[in-house]
């Protein structure tokens, strides 16, 4: 409990982006620690992922922010392809262009990596924090991965990097 109330006294900090509409309905938009800031523009990973999965070859995708020497953060995307769609440089460029078409030039992914699967929790949430740490060559041993449903996909990320 201390973790949730220690940031601001009397206020519960849960780490999710949320908004309320005029009717009092609340919407959870994603994790606040997943927000990516590319060249001063804030984007949620799900916004990028939603565009990538529009491609007929893509089953699912994960986007993470990675260090960029000019923009501060860049986008690195991990993509799972449908059966019968082999990875290729041409497909990689198509996916980058697709992101530009819907999100703008500044949010063009720097890298697109093809993987067999994405690490997810039992509730089907993509474990982007672990993906990012693996990409950066950092240890993930201290992370709580007890709810991970697909630990074998951590290796798929390692192999793609």
In the beta sheet, which residues pair with residue 114?
79
Q: Output the six-digit token pair for 160.
A: 């793609």
CA distances in angstroms from 42 to 34, 99, 111, listed in the order given: 10, 15, 18
Active-site residue among 33, 34, 97, 144? 33
Active site residue 144: no
User: CB 158: neighbour CB atoms within 10 A?
Assistant: 13
How many angstroms separate the CA atoms of 102 and 25, rounded? 28
Q: Which residues are catalytic?
A: 33
């Amino acid at each position: 409990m201390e973790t949730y109330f220690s940031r601001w006294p009397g206020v519960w900090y849960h780490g999710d982006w949320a908004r309320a509409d005029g009717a009092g309905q609340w919407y959870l938009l994603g994790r606040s620690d997943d927000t990516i800031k590319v060249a001063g523009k804030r984007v949620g990973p799900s916004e990028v992922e939603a565009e990538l999965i529009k491609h007929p070859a893509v089953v699912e995708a994960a986007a993470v922010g990675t260090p960029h020497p000019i923009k501060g953060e860049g986008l690195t995307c991990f993509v799972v392809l449908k059966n019968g769609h082999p990875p290729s440089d041409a497909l990689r460029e198509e996916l980058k262009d697709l992101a530009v078409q819907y999100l703008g030039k500044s949010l063009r992914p720097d890298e697109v990596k093809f993987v067999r699967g994405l690490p997810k929790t039992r509730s089907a949430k993509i474990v982007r924090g672990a993906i990012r740490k693996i990409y950066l060559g950092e240890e993930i041993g201290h992370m709580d991965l007890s709810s991970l449903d697909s630990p074998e996909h951590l290796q798929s990320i390692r192999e793609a990097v």
